[in-house]
Amino acid sequence: MRVKDRLVFVGLIWICVYPGVLLFSYAFEWLGIDVSLWLKILFSTLFTVPTISVVVLPMIERVVARMRHESVAELKIDQARAVGATDARIVRDAAG
């Protein structure tokens, strides 16, 4: 994958993660819950990690694939090749 595509991936993920973490930290204050920092981080990640994995990453993959005028399957094949996946099964599985 090109550097530009990676930067788009990273930037879009950060744009999606930051508000979630910020809202969670403010929610603790608004609700008057006084817990230690490690618990705030734990609860924040319990929410943000699945959200990013299930909702945000598929959306970002579609955006990057559209930017490259490819399908998501073609993007995933390109990603598999970029990390050195030479086994045809790995490349095929990456395509979905």
Question: Per-residue pLDDT tens for 19-44?
Answer: 888 888 888 889 988 888 888 888 88
Interatomic CA distance for residues 72 and 51, integer angstroms: 19
Q: What is the DSSP letter of 54?
A: I
Interatomic CA distance for residues 17 and 54, integer angstroms: 13
With 0.95 as the threshold, say if the pTM is over it: no
- Percentage of the chain lying above the pLDDT 90 cut: 7
- pLDDT value at residue 94: 56
Inter-residue contact 52 to 16 (CB < 8 Å): yes
